[in-house]
């Protein structure tokens, strides 16, 4: 009986070696090292290497799936069907479309099928990322049958080319505080307890709207009639021109944003460099629009002040002309408009 069990274990080990994918000789990754150990039928060392790769916490979703697949194969070769089924359950939660190659050993296939049956009716790992009102990002876990998610990470590249990562811990909901320097389009990953990425999703965060400021201008009657540049209408005309230019570049910025949204939705067919170039152009157009809007707002402030004070010059009697009036100007920004609001008390 013992000889028969030994023969079965040797047959399973041979099947694992035969089904293994080829590994480059110069590949020094833990997964490649584990595969070499499996090829040498050193399954105990292969398991140690794979466990170490998980603890290292640097794997992406594809790497995590490969580690759990190999752990399942090693467990079958070592005569541990329960451990093999557990590893394959992890594989199927991380990669629901995972399949074993044709010609797989019946013992390995049986453990894999048992894992799939155990997960029948349960959704695979599902996460989504949403922007917050403060300009950050929140990772929301919608389904996690094995309770694998322990945190989240937002990744981006700074303007100087340096990569940045912002991490947070949590189970069902992970808040990530993203600095203003980060681009609008981010990659957000759901992490396991070791920091491995289990799922990666794209998200476009919101820009934070700055608080409005109030400018109080005290009217002082001029001692003499004003020249043309002391009248309100030249400044109002300049404000119209500046506002028109700001509107033009705002439309261009919105078109760039729409194009970026479309590119993100079809991220598989585009590179990150295309998205970054499109975002930089949109940011440049938005900056010009914001500057134009600021100039227009300033010209409106000047025209408004001159209009109020000019009206007081034509009022009868010394008391109305000498009385100070407060003019309050505040920017007004919303999701679909940008402008200023001015009011005064007579």
Residue-wise pLDDT for 156-171, tens only, equals: 888 888 888 889 998 8
157 closest CA partner among 288, 285, 290, 279: 279
At residue 129, does pLDDT exceed 80?
yes
User: Where a domain ends, among 170, 204, 238?
Assistant: 204
- Phi then psi for residue 201, to 5 deg, are -130, 155
The number of C-alpha atoms within 13 Å of 17 and in the hemisphere containing its C-beta is: 15
Q: Do 73 and 189 fall into the same domain?
A: no
Regarding whether 109 and 6 lie in a shared domain, the answer is: yes
Chain centroid to CA 162: 16
> Phi and psi for 112 in degrees, rounded to 5?
-65, -45
In what order do the strands lie in the sheet containing 126-131? 126-131, 137-143, 173-176
> Which of 131-135, 287-291, 319-323 has the weakest average pLDDT?
319-323
Final residue of a domain: which of 179, 204, 229? 204
Q: Which of 158, 186, 153 is nearest to 61 (CA)?
A: 153
Question: What's the mean pLDDT in 308-315?
Answer: 61
Partners of 337 in the β-ladder: 334
Q: Above 80 in pLDDT, residue 272?
A: no
The predicted model gives 239-253 an average pLDDT of 81
CATH number of the domain bearing residue 142: 2.60.40
The mean predicted confidence, pLDDT, of the chain is 78
Is the pLDDT confidence value at 110 over 80?
Answer: yes
DSSP state of 345: -
Evaluate whether residue 41 is within a structural domain: yes
Q: Express each pLDDT in 12-35 by its tens digit.
A: 444 444 344 444 444 568 999 999
Check pLDDT > 50 for residue 297: yes
CA–CA dist 255, 261 (Å, integer): 10
Mean pLDDT to the nearest integer, 75-103: 94
**pTM (two decimals):** 0.55
- Would residue 209 count as lying in a domain? no
130 and 140 in contact (C-beta within 8 Å)?
Answer: yes
Q: Are residues 183 and 222 in the same domain?
A: no
Task: Print the domain residue range for 241.
Answer: 215-344
Residue 147 confidence (pLDDT): 92
Give 177 or 67, the one with higher predicted confidence: 67
Same domain flag for 32 and 131: no
Q: Is 311 exposed, middle or buried (0-12, 13-18, 19+ CB in 10 A)?
A: middle
pLDDT of residue 71: 96
Is 33 part of any domain?
yes
Range in 32-36, 227-231, 296-300 the model is least confident about: 227-231
Do 72 and 19 fall within a single domain? Answer: yes
The residue ranking higher by pLDDT, 10 or 156, is: 156
In DSSP terms, 166 is beta-bridged to 154
Q: Is residue 82 part of a domain?
A: yes
Quick one: average pLDDT of 267-289?
76
Residues 109-121 have a mean pLDDT of 94
Number of structural domains found in the chain = 3
Q: Is residue 168 part of a domain?
A: yes
The verdict on residue 210 lying in a domain is: no
| Mean pLDDT confidence for 88-104 | 93
Averaged pLDDT, 332-343: 55
pLDDT at position 293, please? 79
Query: Which is more confident, 6 or 326?
Result: 326
- Do 95 and 31 have their domain in common? yes
Q: Which of 19-33, 86-100, 120-134 is predicted with the least confidence, judged by mean pLDDT?
A: 19-33
Please indicate whether residue 330 or residue 242 has the higher confidence score (pLDDT): 242
Specify whether 76 is located in the same domain as 156: no
What pLDDT does residue 333 have?
Answer: 52
User: What does the pLDDT average to over 298-326?
Assistant: 60
Pairing of strands 126-131, 326-334: unpaired
Q: What is the pLDDT of residue 248?
A: 85
Report whether pLDDT(173) > 80.
yes
How confident is the model at residue 251, as a pLDDT?
84
Measuring CA to CA, which residue among 196, 194, 195 is closest to residue 62? 196
**Residue 314: pLDDT band with limits 50, 70, 90:** low
Helix axes 43-56, 61-77, angle to 10 degrees: 160
Cα(123)–Cα(129) distance, rounded to whole angstroms? 18
Domain boundary among 71, 97, 118: 118
Percentage above 70 pLDDT, the chain: 71
More confident residue, 331 or 234: 234
19 vs 290, more confident: 290
Contacts of 135 (CB under 8 A, 6+ apart): 178, 180, 205, 206, 207, 208
pLDDT recorded at residue 128: 92
């Amino acid at each position: 009986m013992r000889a028969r069990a030994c023969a079965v274990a040797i047959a399973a080990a041979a099947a694992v070696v035969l089904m293994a994918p080829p590994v480059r000789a110069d590949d020094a990754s833990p997964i490649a090292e584990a595969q070499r150990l499996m090829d040498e039928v050193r399954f105990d060392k292969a398991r140690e290497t794979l466990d170490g790769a998980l603890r290292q916490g640097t794997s992406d979703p594809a790497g995590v799936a490969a580690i759990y697949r190999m752990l399942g194969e090693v467990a079958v070769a070592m005569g541990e069907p329960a451990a093999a089924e557990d590893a394959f359950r992890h594989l199927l939660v991380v990669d629901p479309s995972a399949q074993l190659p044709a010609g797989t050993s019946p013992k390995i296939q049986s453990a894999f099928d048992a894992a799939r049956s155990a997960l029948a009716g349960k959704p695979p790992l599902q996460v989504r990322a949403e922007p917050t009102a403060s300009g950050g990002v929140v990772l929301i876990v919608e389904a996690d049958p094995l309770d694998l998610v322990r945190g989240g990470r937002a990744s981006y590249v700074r303007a100087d080319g340096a990569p940045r990562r912002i991490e947070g811990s949590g189970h069902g909901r992970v808040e990530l505080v993203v600095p203003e320097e980060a681009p609008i389009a981010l990659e957000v990953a759901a992490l396991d307890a070791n920091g491995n990425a289990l799922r990666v999703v794209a998200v476009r965060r919101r820009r934070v709207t700055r608080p409005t400021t109030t400018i109080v201008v005290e009217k002082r009657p001029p001692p003499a009639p004003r020249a043309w540049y002391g009248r309100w209408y030249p400044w109002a005309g300049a404000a119209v021109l500046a506002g028109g230019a700001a509107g033009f570049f705002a439309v261009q910025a919105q078109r760039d944003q729409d194009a970026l949204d479309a590119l993100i939705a079809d991220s598989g067919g585009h590179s990150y460099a295309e998205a970054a170039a499109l975002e930089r152009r949109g940011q440049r157009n938005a900056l010009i629009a914001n500057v134009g809007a600021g100039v227009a707002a300033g010209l409106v402030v000047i025209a408004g002040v001159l209009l109020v004070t000019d009206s007081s010059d034509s009022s009868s009697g010394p008391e109305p002309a000498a009385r100070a009036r407060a003019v309050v100007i505040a920017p007004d920004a919303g999701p679909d408009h940008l402008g200023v609001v001015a009011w005064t008390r007579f």
